[in-house]
């Protein structure tokens, strides 16, 4: 098990958080057991335990050593799994921790089966509070420069929140890798005290987003002719961005 005094080396969530609950309930509702599921980075393995209780075959992978059954996998490199190995690939709070996001996204899609689901969650830089934070500070909420870590390439370490990514950029990278967006949502709303101001601004943001989304490549959607909107009220307000993509 990881040294409890070395939290900055391998950071992970010790409780069943809001985004885990949203993802778990979605899988419980939409996916019949048994399915083969990859959870990377697995952290403490909380969602893996709950999914196994439903009868799913869950493979947990991480660079930490919280459990002996974990597959050791560094998200900066090729994952140690064959092509099309999993019905569902879950990557919660992982993509913001790597330098080469494109490489990781390609790998998540590679190991998913055709028509399989790739679920990615990440701190939501598109929410109202993060936009305000960037306006006044020049950096997004949850990506404070004071938290950055610097280590030599041969040192295995969690680099922290170093790579913010918007929903549109995530969707574009996923499209290139071979997957389209099915659902974009979030968990709990951030800074409810600012709701009146956020709700006042939302219609203007929505109209501008709608004009852009009419021009998005069809590959960025799970279905041709989809009426899905990337930008919605959940994306505008939620602390965590939760996305579900389908591999073509």
What domain range includes position 24?
Answer: 18-247
The alpha carbon of 45 is separated from its chain's Cα centroid by a whole number of angstroms, namely 16
Q: How confident is the model at residue 1 (pLDDT cuts 50, 70, 90)?
A: very low
- In a domain, residue 9? The reply is no
Residue 37 pairs in a beta bridge with: 58, 88
- Tell me, what CATH number does 196's domain have? 3.40.50.150
- In a domain, residue 240? The reply is yes
pLDDT given at position 3? 41
Taking a C-beta distance cutoff of 8 angstroms, is the pair 39, 90 a contact? yes
Residues ≥6 apart with Cβ < 8 Å to 1: 65, 66, 67
> Is 11 a residue whose pLDDT tops 70?
no
Q: Tokens 């002996």 — which residue?
A: 68
- In a domain, residue 102? The reply is yes
Does the pTM surpass 0.75? The reply is yes
- In a domain, residue 227? The reply is yes
Question: How many folded domains does the chain comprise?
Answer: 1
The terminus-to-terminus CA distance of the chain in angstroms comes to 38
Give the model confidence (pLDDT) of 45-75 as tens digits.
999 999 999 999 999 999 988 889 999 999 9
Cα distance between residue 235 and residue 219, in whole Å:
20
- In a domain, residue 6? The reply is no
| Three-state secondary-structure class, residue 247 | strand
- In a domain, residue 3? The reply is no
């Amino acid at each position: 098990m990881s040294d409890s005094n070395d939290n900055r080396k391998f950071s992970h969530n010790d409780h069943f958080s809001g985004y885990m609950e949203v993802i778990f309930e979605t899988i419980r509702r939409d996916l019949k057991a048994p399915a083969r599921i990859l959870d990377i980075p697995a952290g403490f393995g909380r969602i893996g335990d709950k999914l196994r209780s439903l009868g799913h075959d869950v493979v947990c992978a991480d660079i930490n050593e919280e459990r002996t059954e974990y597959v050791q996998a560094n998200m900066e490199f090729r994952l140690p799994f064959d092509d099309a190995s999993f019905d569902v690939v879950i990557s919660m709070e992982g993509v913001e921790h790597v330098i080469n996001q494109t490489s990781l996204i390609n790998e998540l899609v590679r190991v998913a089966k055709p028509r399989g689901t790739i679920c990615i969650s990440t701190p939501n830089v598109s929410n109202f509070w993060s936009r305000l934070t960037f306006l006044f500070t020049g950096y997004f909420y949850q990506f404070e420069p004071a938290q950055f870590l610097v280590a030599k390439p041969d040192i295995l370490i969690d680099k922290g929140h170093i790579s913010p990514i918007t929903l549109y950029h995530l969707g574009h990278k996923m499209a290139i890798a071979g997957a389209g967006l099915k659902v974009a949502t979030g968990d709990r709303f951030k800074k409810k005290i600012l709701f009146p101001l956020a709700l006042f601004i939302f219609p203007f943001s929505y109209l501008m987003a709608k004009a852009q989304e009419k021009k998005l490549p069809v590959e960025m959607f799970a279905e041709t002719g989809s009426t899905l909107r990337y930008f919605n009220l959940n994306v505008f307000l939620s602390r965590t961005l939760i996305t579900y993509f389908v591999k073509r």
